[in-house]
C-alpha cells in the first residue's frame, strides 16, 4: 500500500478485504465480487459502497443496493483450449499457439 499513489486504479479481486483500506487512500478501487457466500457479507459491501465501485461476474449475481460499473464474465473460449487425450507426467494449460 505504500506505493498506492503511483497507480490510477486498483483492481481488488479479493472481495471485501481490501475495502477496509479504501478510505485511507485516494486511489480509486474497483472490486470484483465473485458471489455472496453468506448474506452477512452483503453488509460489508454496502458499508463501503460510497466511493467504491464493484464488478460482478454475472448479471444474475448482483445485489440492487451496490454500485456496479460492469459485468465481466468468467468464461473462456473453449475452442482456444483443445482437448489432448495423450497424457504425460506434467500439466500444461494454455491457448493453442497455432490460432
pTM of model > 0.85: no
Residue 66 · residue 46 · CB < 8 Å: yes
Q: Read off the pLDDT band of 85 (50, 70, 90).
A: confident
DSSP H stretches of helix in 1-99: 39-47
Residue 35 · residue 18 · CB < 8 Å: no
Question: What confidence score (pLDDT) does residue 48 get?
Answer: 94
Q: Read off the pLDDT band of 96 (50, 70, 90).
A: low
Question: What confidence score (pLDDT) does residue 80 get?
Answer: 79
- Quote the CA–CA distance of 54 and 48 in Å, as a whole number: 10
Residue 72 · residue 32 · CB < 8 Å: yes
Ordered by start, the domain boundaries in the chain are 4-71
- Quote the CA–CA distance of 16 and 35 in Å, as a whole number: 11
Amino acid at each position: 500500500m505504500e506505493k498506492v499513489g503511483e497507480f490510477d486504479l486498483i483492481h481488488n479481486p479479493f472481495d471485501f478485504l481490501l475495502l477496509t483500506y479504501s478510505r485511507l487512500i485516494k486511489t480509486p478501487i474497483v472490486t470484483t465480487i465473485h458471489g455472496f457466500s453468506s448474506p452477512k457479507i452483503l453488509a460489508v459491501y454496502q458499508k463501503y459502497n460510497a466511493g467504491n465501485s464493484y464488478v460482478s461476474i454475472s448479471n444474475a449475481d448482483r445485489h440492487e443496493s451496490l454500485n456496479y460499473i460492469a459485468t465481466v464474465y468468467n468464461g473462456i473460449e473453449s475452442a482456444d483450449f483443445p482437448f489432448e487425450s495423450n497424457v504425460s507426467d506434467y500439466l500444461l494449460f494454455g491457448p493453442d499457439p497455432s490460432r
